[in-house]
Structure 1
């Protein structure tokens, strides 16, 4: 049970083990979610998953899961809708969840043609807090904030449980931290106002969507769609974040993002 975090709605602690370090190209081999409700009740969802591709030896060396371990397991798409429904109405937390677990999960949902969005959710990453205060790893965070040694690192169910205890321990140790999900999200998940997507691959410049990377950096998205559609096609089929790929597909169809309000580019961009 979370003793130090005030919940207005459920929060889901997610941990994922994958075939590789790239969250956009790696495939999930194990997924665990600990859902904690405002009344303190807890519910787990945990699955071994057949990734559909060989698990590299270097990945097995980290989490211990082999091809044989998941050979008879269902693919992610068979779980996708159930996982999406389990996360309905939940804020999201975990250790490195913003830069790894969540993007990986979003990519798997997209491959399964299941709609899922981080919008409207508070994202709380205990690794961000930990690195701001004590730049270490998950095992060190568990020892520091919970006074415990990890017995089964890189087991998704254990790691999800540990990440929930770490966040609770951080809130207990650092009394100046916000006590609510909204405040912690503001601390953990900072997005530049000029960014159209989460990573800033496209940004607003004088209310126009502009490419902010690669050979077309500084070029209007509308111009790219008309004169360089092959570039957007490349983005759509490559290992980019889901929101970037969707933007590329929509631009090819003649649909472009609308700026929420007049914005100026962040200093240093472009």
Structure 2
């Protein structure tokens, strides 16, 4: 059958900014998908407790007035999302997130900010896994393809519909479907079990980060450091990727 034909959990956050250690959750979504069928969904709107910058509002469309008037407290949203994800990981179900290092690092920072149990604490000390990141996988299996690698561009490449980019539910669903499409095109991805694929992505992300760091240094930034930890970076520092 393959993991891409089994239950997957699409996950996405829309936020106040692009630094996962500083940005706050505005909306979140967890979508249960098997094949082409959506089996369930959970969505959240948060009052982030800080002003949402105009450029972020322009991306996801959530105004400060709406977030303050309709959103739940940020700590409750972060806690609820973490609980849902942890429950799926405990059951062995893969969580799919496009550029997972951003979303999981940001969620981890929110939990820490509000004094809530971390993802690892909710998992009895285990790392959050398995995670499937179409961004990391695509960048490895089709390394030399030209063009952008944001969710919209990669969905176009694989023929995956994305009707409302930067809506958390739409992005979460697209990420799950994109993971399946990549597996369909690349059998070497499909044949891996979720745990093996998780481990491979750790290696692929570290390789990409080392290559990108070397590129930046060749271009003149002699002190450039690109964090190659995936899928969760606990310490603050220069992000390995901006939000894509």
TM over 0.5: yes
1:155 and 2:171 matched? no
Asked if the contact 1:34–1:44 (Cα under 8 Å) also holds between the matched residues in 2, the reply is yes
**In the alignment, which residue of structure 1 is the partner of 2:29?**
32
- Select which of 101, 104, 113 maps to 2:103: 101
Determine the C-alpha separation between the residues in 1 that align with 2:66 and 2:38.
31
Superposed, 1:5-44 pairs within 5 Å as 5=4, 7=6, 11-36=8-33, 42-44=39-41
Determine the C-alpha separation between the residues in 2 that align with 1:5 and 1:107.
30
Shift of 1:147: 4.8
1:51 and 2:53 matched? no
Task: Specify whether residues 186 and 13 from structure 1 end up closer, same or farther in structure 2 by C-alpha distance, changes over 3 A only.
Answer: same
- Select which of 130, 134, 155 maps to 1:126: 134
Asked if the contact 2:158–2:178 (Cα under 8 Å) also holds between the matched residues in 1, the reply is yes
Shift of 1:146: 2.8
1:111 and 2:113 matched? yes
Asked if the contact 2:30–2:169 (Cα under 8 Å) also holds between the matched residues in 1, the reply is yes
Shift of 1:44: 1.3
Give the paired residue count.
194
Does the residue aligned with 2:72 lie in a helix, a strand or coil?
coil
Task: Specify whether residues 63 and 126 from structure 1 end up closer, same or farther in structure 2 by C-alpha distance, changes over 3 A only.
Answer: same
Determine the C-alpha separation between the residues in 2 that align with 1:156 and 1:120.
20
Determine the C-alpha separation between the residues in 2 that align with 1:147 and 1:92.
18
Determine the C-alpha separation between the residues in 2 that align with 1:75 and 1:42.
27
From the CA coordinates, give the structure whose radius of gyration is larger. Answer: 1
String of CA shifts for 1:115-164, please: whole Å, max 9, x gaps: 1325151222110112221452211211222353x321100010000000
Determine the C-alpha separation between the residues in 1 that align with 2:205 and 2:34.
31
TM-score by length of 1: 0.63
**In the alignment, which residue of structure 1 is the partner of 2:154?**
141
Task: Specify whether residues 147 and 49 from structure 1 end up closer, same or farther in structure 2 by C-alpha distance, changes over 3 A only.
Answer: closer
Determine the C-alpha separation between the residues in 2 that align with 1:3 and 1:159.
23
TM-score by length of 2: 0.69
Determine the C-alpha separation between the residues in 1 that align with 2:193 and 2:2.
12
Higher relative contact order (CA 8 A, sep 6+): 2
Task: Specify whether residues 120 and 94 from structure 1 end up closer, same or farther in structure 2 by C-alpha distance, changes over 3 A only.
Answer: closer
RMSD: 3.1
Determine the C-alpha separation between the residues in 1 that align with 2:52 and 2:11.
21
Task: Specify whether residues 176 and 242 from structure 1 end up closer, same or farther in structure 2 by C-alpha distance, changes over 3 A only.
Answer: closer
More helix by share: 2
Shift of 1:182: 1.2
Asked if the contact 1:30–1:49 (Cα under 8 Å) also holds between the matched residues in 2, the reply is yes
